[in-house]
Amino acid sequence: MSDKNVHNAGFTPSGISKGSLASSMMSREARESGGGVHSGGPTSTLQEMGARGTTHSSGFTSSGISSGSLASSKMSQEARSHGGGIPQGGTTSTVQSISMGGKGGRR
């Protein structure tokens, strides 16, 4: 289910779908960073997962983040770098939200 949600958001094996949530995220992220989308950010992470169909196997599931997974490692790393919390609009919260069928976090 989580891979389907990522594809429905516009992150697909053939790229980001025009007019989708994914294209809006990419545009917003590029504007905020001065013109590019950073590796490891929400857009690039979701596109990589959408292209490979690996959202669920990475630990971002429709029922939450799996213990001991790549997703839990990313969440821990992000929490450490932000003083113990996961920021809204960050990579972990955005990827998890979209994998659950949401619209991602807002910055």
Is the pTM above the cut of 0.75?
Answer: yes
106 vs 50, residue with greater confidence = 50
89 vs 15, residue with greater confidence = 15
Hunting for tokens 């932000």 — which residue is that?
82
Model confidence at 107, in pLDDT bands (50, 70, 90)? very low
Cα–Cα distance, 61 to 67 (Å, whole number) = 11
Cα–Cα distance, 12 to 23 (Å, whole number) = 11
The domain locations on the chain are 1-100
Q: pLDDT tens, 43-57?
A: 988 898 888 877 767
Cα–Cα distance, 58 to 20 (Å, whole number) = 23
